[in-house]
Chain A
Amino acid sequence: MKFRAKINDVGCLNHFTRVVNTITKLTKTCVVRLTVDNIFFVLSGKVANGGVSMWCELLQVNFFDEYQLEGVSEDANEICLEVNPENLSRALKTAQNAKSVKIKLTKKHYPCLTLAAELPSLSSISRIVTHDIPVDVIPRRLWHDFKEPSMPDFDVSIYLPPLKTMKSVVDRMKNLSNYLVVEANLCGEMNLKIETDLVSVTTHFKDLGNPPWGASQSQSQSRDVEAMAHARVDIRKLQQFLMGQQVNPTKSMCNIVDKRIIHLILLQEDVSLQYFIPAVV
């Protein structure tokens, strides 16, 4: 297994840092899958993390100037590592104005992702800072846990309102209840609701639009366009998602499987982030 990548461009470095920061806000540990073309940050839905799962995908060419990878074997040319994203994010933070940043898989006393940054200095010799981030190498027989989640057979898919707006609504609702109902229909309407013994609050969003997913999503074709699909979710999980995101997506949408799950998608040219929050009864 060999992995080495290098970023020379400050823009790319900032972009990569923002992606990692976003991941950091969503989870304490995650799996980094390195393939020849992509880097994936994966969280598979375990009961311990509230059944939430995440899938973030980057095209490596858009971030790295150099990228060399030799996977576990020829037929499985990839590397799977368990990482604490906070370490990665902290390491990147200290490399903010670096001339170049290198990320390598190394073996110290334990396997590490080593991030080395060449920083400007007062002299002709650059300052070099290296961070050894401990990782666990995930054996191949466990890889199946970290495959791309299949798109759920959703009832309604809808574009999200500006995430900032949504965040300020959810932040306020969180003071009143632990659970929030997300509901939407095929007329571009979405409601965020909380219901407690004392109070019911609903925020209505209109004219959001429904993404065209083609004929493959048969379930939504035969649906009454005004009927709401809804899912009741842990409000903290949704808030975490809205709070943490730093990627400024060009498109953001939400798929709802009635009473089962919400599937949030953020899209940018070279990054996509999917986040699944299971519904609770």
Chain B
Amino acid sequence: MDCVATGGNVKVLAKAIHSLSRIGEELYLEPTEDGLTLRAVNSSRSAFACFLMSPLFFQRYQAPPDQAFRCKMPIKSVQTVFRSLSSLERSVEKCRIEMNNQKSRLRITLHCKHGLLKTHNLSFQDCECLQAVFDKDNCTNVLRAQPRLWVDTVLHFPPSLEEVCVSVSSDRVWLRNHVEDDADSSKAMMTELCLSSEEFDHFVIGSQTSITFCLKELRGLLVFAETAGLPISMYFDEPGSPVVLSVSDSVLDANFVLATLSEDAHQRNNNKANRPRAELPPDDFMCDDIDSYLIAMETSDLAGPSYEPQPQTSSSNHKSRRLSDEEVDEKEEEEEESGEGQPNKKFCSLFFGSVLPASSRPTNQTMQSQEVLASDSEDERQSE
């Protein structure tokens, strides 16, 4: 493998690495004929991100002839290479990524101004192919907007907020913070933002639904999309099936696949949230009558205990926050995507082709190159 990126594309590459670093600890790198793929997955396997830089993205691109080479390395070490974006922009003219098979090192060379060369030799491990199973083209709901809109939207939520709930109707989108059922909801500030469909470049809603997913990864993708100035598309179906956030232009393609909260957990939350909205006319803000906000309270009593949560907030089956490591291991052995029937799991783990027999999975176009790994030594020799 040998590829060279120049000028602004070095920065794009760097931003891609940065946003992948928000997902997982390791960078999975796979040069193919279609381009260089960079992937990451989080430890609970509920979030997966993949960048594909096409050969045209590079000034020179040479994939290993046998297509069998893939490796992973700690993403921190790659981040170190691209640490300072500003100095990168100022001084780096081109960046060369090549495989040194004799030494089993991935070599990244930054060609800077005044003939300065910075060479990083990174060690790596061979790895299985990492690929989440998703099918964004058949999603019933698609939203596409400029990164600015997403950034402005996310800004309203506190940085500490982990999950956000997105609800869609035929002409509107609501975002609100998701609060655990068992959390002390009387202490948390609830934020809701309503956007009109007109603000989106593309707005297709096949089914009105609400999904809940982690904000962290969306923030990660925003880091990338904002610099690249590329619109972000969001593809999703019903709660429990993954949401795909994607960015693409002629030379690159990025997909972030995130697990969403499964149906039963969502239902209650959804009821809670949807009820007040249904009662209000669409433009609640403009036509409020003070009487409709009458607050009837017995003020001669102490306020605290008399406000009990409404029945639907009572949590009979509370969800665990994340899959524990053991659970993930279990999961990897399971054949079925286990959204249903596991009430103690909050997010469904995404499925990865590598841990499954390829034949037993419904495949999509991104999975076609599934292969069983050859042994390590063979792999390396062939990739020369």
A residues near B, CB below 8 A?
Answer: 1-2, 4, 68, 72, 87, 90-91, 94, 102, 104-112, 114, 116, 118, 121-134, 136-141
Closest to B188 in A: A134
Residues of B within 8 A of A139 (CB): 299-303
Q: A127-B193, A127-B194 are in contact. Are A111 and B303 (CB under 8 A)?
A: yes
A111 touches B189 (CB 8 A): no
Closest to A136 in B: B303
Besides A72-B299, A107-B296, A139-B300, 5 other A-B contacts (C-beta < 8 A) = A106-B295, A127-B193, A128-B193, A132-B192, A134-B188
Closest to B172 in A: A125
- Beta-carbon contacts of B196-233 to A below 8 Å, as 1s and 0s? 10110000000000000000000000000000000000
* Segment from B35-43, B76-84, B306-314, B319-327 that makes contact with A: B306-314
Closest to B146 in A: A122
Closest to B309 in A: A109
**For the complex, is B195 an interface residue (Cβ under 8 Å from A)?**
yes
Q: A90-B189, A124-B198, A129-B193 are in contact. Are A111 and B288 (CB under 8 A)?
A: no
Q: A2-B290, A131-B190 are in contact. Are A125 and B196 (CB under 8 A)?
A: yes
B199 touches A122 (CB 8 A): yes
Closest to B296 in A: A107
**For the complex, is B114 an interface residue (Cβ under 8 Å from A)?**
no
Closest to A72 in B: B299
Q: Which residues 284-305 of B sit at the A interface, judged by CB distance below 8 A?
A: 284-285, 288, 290-291, 293-297, 299-304
**For the complex, is B90 an interface residue (Cβ under 8 Å from A)?**
no
B155 touches A94 (CB 8 A): yes
Output the least CB separation between B303 and chain A (Å).
5
Residues of A within 8 A of B285 (CB): 102, 116, 118, 126, 128
A125 touches B198 (CB 8 A): yes
Residues of B within 8 A of A118 (CB): 285
Residues of A within 8 A of B288 (CB): 4, 102, 104
**For the complex, is B381 an interface residue (Cβ under 8 Å from A)?**
no
B198 touches A107 (CB 8 A): no
B293 touches A106 (CB 8 A): yes
Residues of A within 8 A of B307 (CB): 109-111
Residues of A within 8 A of B186 (CB): 109-110, 134
| 8 interchain residue pairs of minimum CB distance | A123-B198, A125-B196, A132-B190, A107-B295, A87-B189, A94-B156, A129-B193, A110-B186
- Cα(A94)–Cα(B299), bound, Å: 31
- Cα(A101)–Cα(B301), bound, Å: 31
Q: A2-B294, A90-B158, A109-B310 are in contact. Are A129 and B191 (CB under 8 A)?
A: yes
Residues of A within 8 A of B112 (CB): none
- Cα(A139)–Cα(B300), bound, Å: 5
Can you give 10 A-B contacts (C-beta < 8 A)?
Answer: A107-B293, A109-B185, A111-B295, A114-B293, A123-B196, A125-B199, A131-B191, A131-B192, A134-B189, A138-B299
Interface of B is mostly: loop
**For the complex, is B149 an interface residue (Cβ under 8 Å from A)?**
yes
B299 touches A122 (CB 8 A): no
Residues of A within 8 A of B187 (CB): 134
Residues of A within 8 A of B309 (CB): 109-110
A107 touches B297 (CB 8 A): yes
- Cα(A112)–Cα(B291), bound, Å: 16
- Cα(A2)–Cα(B296), bound, Å: 9
- Cα(A109)–Cα(B187), bound, Å: 11
Residues of B within 8 A of A122 (CB): 149, 198-199
B189 touches A132 (CB 8 A): yes
Residues of A within 8 A of B196 (CB): 121, 123, 125, 127
Residues of A within 8 A of B192 (CB): 129-132
Closest to B158 in A: A90
Residues of B within 8 A of A4 (CB): 288, 290, 293
Task: Select which of B155, B189, B299 is within 8 A of A91 by beta carbon.
Answer: B189
B295 touches A105 (CB 8 A): yes
B301 touches A121 (CB 8 A): no
Residues of B within 8 A of A129 (CB): 156, 191-194
- Cα(A134)–Cα(B293), bound, Å: 15
Residues of B within 8 A of A141 (CB): 300
- Cα(A15)–Cα(B276), bound, Å: 32
Output the least CB separation between B257 and chain A (Å).
27
Closest to B148 in A: A122
Output the least CB separation between A129 and chain B (Å).
5
- Cα(A1)–Cα(B158), bound, Å: 30
Closest to A1 in B: B295
A127 touches B199 (CB 8 A): yes
Residues of B within 8 A of A110 (CB): 185-186, 307, 309
- Cα(A128)–Cα(B280), bound, Å: 14
Closest to A120 in B: B152
Residues of B within 8 A of A112 (CB): 190
Residues of B within 8 A of A116 (CB): 285
Closest to A126 in B: B285
Q: A90-B158, A124-B198, A134-B189 are in contact. Are A68 and B290 (CB under 8 A)?
A: yes
Closest to B185 in A: A109
- Cα(A126)–Cα(B195), bound, Å: 8
- Cα(A134)–Cα(B313), bound, Å: 16
Residues of A within 8 A of B301 (CB): 139
Residues of B within 8 A of A140 (CB): 299-300
Residues of A within 8 A of B303 (CB): 111, 136-139
Residues of B within 8 A of A132 (CB): 189-192
Output the least CB separation between B281 and chain A (Å).
12
- Cα(A137)–Cα(B288), bound, Å: 23
